[in-house]
Structure 1
Amino acid sequence: MTKTHYDYVVVGGGSAGSVLANRLSEGGQSSVLVLEAGRSDYPWDLFIQMPAALTFPSGNPLYDWRYQSDPEPHMGGRRVAHARGKVLGGSSSINGMIFQRGNPLDYERWGADAGMESWDFAHCLPYFRRMENTLAADPDDEFRGHDGPLVLERGPATNPLFQSFFQAARQAGFPLTDDVNGYRQEGFAAFDRNVHKGQRLSASRAYLRPNFNRPNLTVLTRALVTKVNFEGNVATGVTYRRNGKLHTVNAGEVVLSGGAINTPQLLQLSGVGDAQLLLSLGIKPVVNLPGVGENLQDHLEVYIQHACTQPVSMQPNLDLWRYPFIGLEWLFGRKGPASTNHFEGGGFVRSNEDVAYPNLMFHFLPVAVRYDGQKAEAKHGYQVHIGPMYSDARGSLKIKSTDPAVHPSMVFNYLSTEQDRREWVEAVRISRDILGQSAMAPFNGGEISPGRSVQTDQEILDWVAADAETALHPSCTAKMGPESDPMAVVNPLDMSVHGTKGLRVADASAMPYVTNGNIYAPVMMLAERASDLILGNAPLAAQHTEFYRHGISPLEKDGTERNGAGTAAAPAAGA
Structure 2
Amino acid sequence: MEHEVDYLIVGAGSAGCVLANRLSADPRNSVLLLEAGGKDTNPWIHVPVGYFKTMHDPELDWCYRTEPDDNVAGRRIDWPRGKVLGGSSSLNGLLYVRGQREDYDRWAELGNRGWRYADVLPHFKKSEDQERGADAYHGVGGPLKVSDLRLRRPIADHFIAAAQDIGIPLNPDYNGAAQEGVGYFQQTAYKGFRWSTAKGFLKPARDRANLRVETRAQACRVLFEGNAAVGVEYLQGGERKTARARVEVILASGAIGSPQLLQLSGIGPAKLLQSVGVPVRLDLPGVGRNLQDHLQVRLVFRTRERTLNDEVNHPLRKAWIGVQYALWRTGPLTLAASQVAIFTRSSPGADRPDIQFHMQPLSADKPGQGAHPFSAFTASVCQLRPFSRGSVELRSADPLQYPAIRANYLSDERDHPVVIGGIKVARRIAAAPSLAPHIVSEFVPGAQYQSDAELLDAARQFSQSIYHPAGTCKMGHDLSRDPLAVVDERLRVHGVARLRVVDASIMPELVSGNTNAPVIMIAEKAADMILEDRTLSPVSRFEHAEART
**Does 2:334 match 1:344?**
no
Q: Give how far 1:27 is off.
A: 2.1
Instruction: Give percent identity, aligned residues only.
Output: 39
Equivalent residue, structure 1, for 2:125: 129
Equivalent residue, structure 1, for 2:501: 505
Equivalent residue, structure 2, for 1:306: 301
Equivalent residue, structure 2, for 1:65: 62
> 1:38 corresponds to which letter in structure 2?
G
CA distance in 1, matches of 2:469, 2:337: 23
* Distance verdict in 2 for CA 1:189–1:497, change over 3 Å: same
Equivalent residue, structure 2, for 1:381: 376
Equivalent residue, structure 2, for 1:570: none
Equivalent residue, structure 1, for 2:101: 104
**Does 2:411 match 1:416?**
yes
**Where has structure 1 moved over 4 Å in runs of 4 or more?**
322-325
CA distance in 2, matches of 1:385, 1:110: 27
Residues 334-483 of structure 1: matches in 2 within 5 Å? 334-341=329-336, 343-369=338-364, 370-378=366-374, 380-483=375-478
Q: Does the 8 Å contact 1:162/1:345 carry over to 2?
A: yes
Partner of residue 180 from structure 1, selected from 149, 174, 193: 174
Q: Does the 8 Å contact 1:329/1:336 carry over to 2?
A: yes
Equivalent residue, structure 2, for 1:142: 136
Equivalent residue, structure 2, for 1:29: 28
Equivalent residue, structure 2, for 1:571: none
Q: Give how far 1:342 is off.
A: 5.1
Q: Does the 8 Å contact 2:339/2:361 carry over to 1?
A: no
Q: Give how far 1:336 is off.
A: 2.4
Equivalent residue, structure 2, for 1:518: 514
Q: Give how far 1:158 is off.
A: 3.5
> 1:91 corresponds to which letter in structure 2?
S
Equivalent residue, structure 1, for 2:525: 529
RMSD of Structure 2 on Structure 1 (CA) = 1.6
Q: Give how far 1:440 is off.
A: 0.7
CA distance in 2, matches of 1:286, 1:232: 10
SS where residue 56 of structure 1 aligns? helix
Summarize deviations over 1:268-304 as a string: whole Å, max 9, x none. 0001111121122221111111000000000000221
Equivalent residue, structure 1, for 2:162: 168
CA distance in 2, matches of 1:236, 1:219: 18
> 1:81 corresponds to which letter in structure 2?
D
Equivalent residue, structure 1, for 2:313: 319
Q: Give how far 1:537 is off.
A: 6.7
Equivalent residue, structure 2, for 1:541: none
TM-score scaled to structure 1, two decimals? Answer: 0.89
Equivalent residue, structure 2, for 1:278: 273
Equivalent residue, structure 1, for 2:243: 249
Q: Does the 8 Å contact 2:313/2:371 carry over to 1?
A: no
CA distance in 2, matches of 1:454, 1:429: 11
Q: Does the 8 Å contact 1:155/1:343 carry over to 2?
A: no
Equivalent residue, structure 2, for 1:199: 193
| Unpaired segments ≥5 residues, structure 1 | 539-575
Q: Does the 8 Å contact 2:150/2:330 carry over to 1?
A: no
Q: Does the 8 Å contact 2:150/2:334 carry over to 1?
A: no
Summarize deviations over 1:112-146 as a string: whole Å, max 9, x none. 112x1310101011101101111124x3x201111
TM-score scaled to structure 2, two decimals? Answer: 0.94
Summarize deviations over 1:76-103 as a string: whole Å, max 9, x none. 2211110011111111111100000001
CA distance in 1, matches of 2:262, 2:328: 45
Equivalent residue, structure 2, for 1:16: 15
> 2:82 corresponds to which letter in structure 1?
G
> 2:166 corresponds to which letter in structure 1?
A
Q: Give how far 1:185 is off.
A: 0.3
SS where residue 71 of structure 2 aligns? coil
CA distance in 1, matches of 2:293, 2:233: 30
Q: Does the 8 Å contact 2:344/2:355 carry over to 1?
A: yes
Q: Does the 8 Å contact 2:151/2:331 carry over to 1?
A: no
Q: Does the 8 Å contact 1:154/1:344 carry over to 2?
A: no
Q: Give how far 1:331 is off.
A: 3.4
Q: Does the 8 Å contact 1:156/1:344 carry over to 2?
A: no
Q: Does the 8 Å contact 1:256/1:504 carry over to 2?
A: yes
Q: Give how far 1:341 is off.
A: 1.7
Equivalent residue, structure 2, for 1:92: 89
> 2:378 corresponds to which letter in structure 1?
Q
CA distance in 2, matches of 1:520, 1:98: 8
CA distance in 2, matches of 1:46, 1:113: 43
| Unpaired segments ≥5 residues, structure 2 | 535-549
Equivalent residue, structure 2, for 1:266: 261
* Distance verdict in 2 for CA 1:46–1:319, change over 3 Å: farther
CA distance in 2, matches of 1:349, 1:97: 21
Q: Does the 8 Å contact 2:151/2:335 carry over to 1?
A: no
Partner of residue 491 from structure 2, selected from 492, 495, 502: 495
* Distance verdict in 2 for CA 1:476–1:381, change over 3 Å: same
Q: Give how far 1:53 is off.
A: 2.2
SS where residue 296 of structure 2 aligns? strand
CA distance in 1, matches of 2:467, 2:179: 21
**Does 2:37 match 1:38?**
yes
Q: Give how far 1:156 is off.
A: 4.9
Q: Give how far 1:436 is off.
A: 1.2
Q: Give how far 1:262 is off.
A: 0.3
Equivalent residue, structure 2, for 1:55: 52
SS where residue 442 of structure 1 aligns? helix
SS where residue 144 of structure 1 aligns? coil
SS where residue 529 of structure 1 aligns? helix
